[in-house]
Amino acid sequence: MNRPTVPADFLPFALPEIGEEEIAEVVDTLRSGWITTGPKARRFESDFAAFLGEPGLHCVAVNSATAGLHLALEALGIGPGDEVLTTTHTFTATAEVVRYLGADVKLVDCDAATLNIDPAAVEAAVGPRTKALVPVHYAGLAADMPRLLQIARRHRLKVVEDAAHALPSTSGGRLVGTLGSDAAVFSFYANKTITTGEGGMLVTRDPEIAARARVMRLHGISRDAFDRFSAQVPSWYYEIVAPGFKYNLTDIAAALGLHQLRRARDFHRRREQLAQAYDAALSGLPLQLPAHAPPGEQHAWHLYVVRLADDARVARDRVIERLYAAGIGCSVHYIPLHLQPYWRERYGLQARHFPRSQRAFERMISLPLYTRMRDADVERVAQALRAVL
C-alpha cells in the first residue's frame, strides 16, 4: 500500500520544548556518574512539592503516570473483589492498572460539554464492591472535584486523580495535586505540559501512601538505592518487604524535569495564548470548540480538542485525512475504552451505554498544541480547516 508523502513543512501534532538548560543538566548528570535514581530525582520531588505550594505534600517520582496510578491504588489496598469507577473517555492506562491488582473496572460516561467524568453517572454506578474512584482531568480541564469528593465521602470511596493532563490546572482556586483526594498522579510523557521523556509523579498528603509507594517502586526494597549507595558508611544490607515493581525515575530523566518545571508557568502562558488564538481563528466554522475553565480557574491546555458540529458536511476521518495532506498532524483523544476489544468483551460494553462519549468520539479532532508553535501555525491550521469544512 502506498503511504502518503509527508510534506517538508509538516506541522506535527506535538513537540517537546527542550532548552540548553535541560541539555546541560543531562550532560552534568552523565558526567556525575550517577545516572539512575539519585540526588536529582530527589531534588525533582522536592521542587515539585514546592511548585504545588502547600505544606505536607509527599511527591514520589516514578517512570510513568501509569506506574504512579498503579502504586497509588496498590497502597490503598485495592485488590481482588474490589471495583474501581472511572470514565470510558480516557486512555487505557487509567483503567488497566486496576486490572493489574486483580480488581474490576466499572466505566461511566462523560459530561457532554467538558468530556470529564460525569458525577451523576458516578453516583448512579456506586455498588457494594466499589472501593475507589479515578477521575481524569481531561485535556487539562479539571473534573468537577467538589461534587466527586462529596460523592466519595458519602460512599467511603478512595480517590486517585489521573492528573496526567493537569499541570497546572486548578479546581476551587487550588492546583490539582493539592485537593482532597487520596493521591494525584501527573505525567511527564513527551507531549505533556512538561516532560522528562517518560516519567510521572505521585502526590499525596498521606505519609503511609508515600512510604508504600517508595518501597514498591523499586522491587519492594526497604531502603532507596540512593540512601544505600550514598551513605558515608557502607550500607549494603537491605530487605525485601513486598513483591514490588521497577518504577523508579532515573536522574537522567529528572535532570530534564528540574528545568522543565522551572519553565512550567511560561509554558502554560504560551498554551493559553495558543488556545485563545485557536478560539478566535476557528470561530464561525461548524465546530464545537473546547470547554474553558470556569471563571477564576485555570485550564492546563494540554490538548485542544474540537468536535464537528451537526451541520458539518465532512466526516471526521475525512477531515483528518485532508489536514494530513495539507501537512498538519492531528490525533483523536480518545477512542473510548468501551470500543476497545479487551474492555468491551470483558464487561459486555456497548456504545449505547455511553452515548455522550460515543457521540464526542465520532466528531472529535485534537489539533496541534505545543509551546514551540507560532501564531502563524495556528492560522495555518485554521485556514486548512476552513478549506475542508
Out of 234, 262, 290, pick the residue that ends a domain: 262
Q: Which domain holds residue 76?
A: 20-262
Tell me what pLDDT residue 237 has: 84
Q: What is the domain count for the chain?
A: 2
Instruction: State yes or no: pLDDT of 1 exceeds 50.
Output: no
Tell me the per-residue pLDDT of 189-222, one tens digit each, with 9 for 90 and over: 999 999 999 999 999 999 999 999 999 999 999 8
- Between these two residues, 228 and 23, which has the higher pLDDT value? 23
Residues 6 or more apart whose Cβ sits within 8 Å of residue 386 = 285
Tell me what pLDDT residue 6 has: 62
Type of residue at 117: I
User: Would 355 be classed as within a structural domain?
Assistant: yes
User: Which residue, chain included where needed, has cell 521523556?
Assistant: 197
Q: Does 132 lie in the same domain as 212?
A: yes
- Section 319-348 average pLDDT: 98
Specify the pTM: 0.96
Interstrand relation of 104-108 and 287-288 (parallel, antiparallel or unpaired): unpaired
CA dihedral 151, 155, 159, 165 (to 10 degrees): -30
Q: Does 269 lie in the same domain as 194?
A: no
Q: Does 186 lie in the same domain as 122?
A: yes
Tell me the per-residue pLDDT of 138-173, one tens digit each, with 9 for 90 and over: 999 999 999 999 999 999 999 999 999 999 999 999
Tell me what pLDDT residue 332 has: 98
Instruction: State yes or no: pLDDT of 357 exceeds 80.
Output: yes
* Closest to 147 measured CA to CA, from 182, 178, 112, 123: 123
- Section 38-50 average pLDDT: 98
Tell me what pLDDT residue 2 has: 55
Q: Does 147 lie in the same domain as 108?
A: yes
Residue 25 and residue 27: Cα distance in Å, rounded? 5
Of the candidates 131, 158, 192, 246, the residue annotated as catalytic is 192
Q: What is 87-140 written as a DSSP string?
A: ESSS-THHHHHHHHTT-EEEEEPBPTTT-SB-HHHHHHH--TTEEEEE-B-GGG
Q: Does 271 lie in the same domain as 257?
A: no
User: Would 77 be classed as within a structural domain?
Assistant: yes
User: Would 374 be classed as within a structural domain?
Assistant: yes
CATH number for position 366:
3.90.1150.10
Average per-residue pLDDT in the chain?
96
User: Would 220 be classed as within a structural domain?
Assistant: yes
Q: Does 247 lie in the same domain as 98?
A: yes
Catalytic residue flag (residue 192): yes
Residue 227: pLDDT band with limits 50, 70, 90 = low
Q: Does 146 lie in the same domain as 248?
A: yes
First to last CA, the chain: 28
* Closest to 70 measured CA to CA, from 34, 106, 104, 97: 97
What cell numbers appear for 341 in the block?
476489544
